[in-house]
Amino acid sequence: MSAFGLVMHPERASELAIDAVDWLGERGHEVRLGTEEAAMVGRPELGVPESKLAVGLDLVLSLGGDGTMLRAVDLAAPEGVPVLGINLGQLGYLTEVEPGGLRMALKRFLAGSYEVEDRMLVRVDVEAEAFEGGPSHLALNEAVLEKTPMGHTVRLGVSVDGEAFTTYAADGLIVATPTGSTAYAFSARGPIVEPTHRCLLLTPVSPHMLFDRSLVLAPSAVVRIEVLGHRPATLSVDGSNLGTLHNGDAVTYTAAEATARIVAFGPRYFLRILKSKFGLSDR
């Protein structure tokens, strides 16, 4: 028998989660949810702390949109567990299956009729004496250093592989993966990169300087960004605000050893997905 973990959107996925729990349980498979989510679907006996959710699993099911998928990957990637996304959101770049296809997707997974697509993750290491968000994180989409909500532009000194590059005066800087090239970096006019590629994307947000281009860096690059001057900057990873950095604090970004393992049922044609999401025509 196999072991499954469920990560769900708190408002959209209860009915689908109950269906998945019942279907898998009837066939003798182990199912786990986070403690709060297990209570939410009326199955508290299946609840475990999130820190233990992915340990020893065969698959993590993400029931929601891309935000839920990011949370599922964050839990699953350190354990090397693949993630299958069931789309209950809108764009759904990361999700593979629509809700009506859940049971068939589970049958195909259990039959071994699937592929796993590895996606690059960024490791984010914080250098600060007092930072509430913790010293190290993984990002599937991006990590962002930017001005505080009510603040002005920030000065951010960038070095690559130990060599100073330049100081940006901007609303912020985004360090993104290829997967994240269609997320925040895209809205800041960064390039679109095929998601199975490996590179680091450095994209400024509203730069107040002549140089306003994105940089596409090697996956082996070590990017260090230091906060300069009296204006603080906030750090967010995959949309979660982790805390504030001050003058002299820094963040280092590298390609992580772990990868996001995304389940797919056949080839994912990225340009077709892109055309569909943006309503592009053939002419």
- The answer to whether 264 and 83 are in contact (CB under 8 A) is no
Q: In what order do the strands lie in the sheet with 233-237?
A: 215-217, 200-205, 172-176, 142-147, 233-237, 240-245
Sequence-ordered list of residues with C-beta below 8 angstroms from that of 39, at least 6 positions apart, any chain: 47
Q: Which of 107, 96, 103, 108 is nearest to 19 (CA)?
A: 103
Question: 92 to each of 73, 170, 183, 282, how far by Cα in Å?
Answer: 14, 30, 11, 22
* Amino acid sitting at position 243: G
Most distant pair of Cα atoms in the chain: their distance: 62
d(C-alpha 135, C-alpha 65), whole Å? 28
Burial class (CB in 10 A: 0-12, 13-18, 19+), 3: middle
Please give the Cα distance from 42 to 76 (Å, whole number).
24
| Catalytic residue (choose from 19, 22, 58, 66) | 66
Residue 224: strand pairing partners: 159, 252
CA dihedral 174, 7, 264, 89 (to 10 degrees): -70
**Is residue 66 annotated as a catalytic residue, yes or no?**
yes
Q: And the tokens for 219?
A: 């996956």
End-to-end CA distance of the chain: 50
Catalytic residue numbers read 66
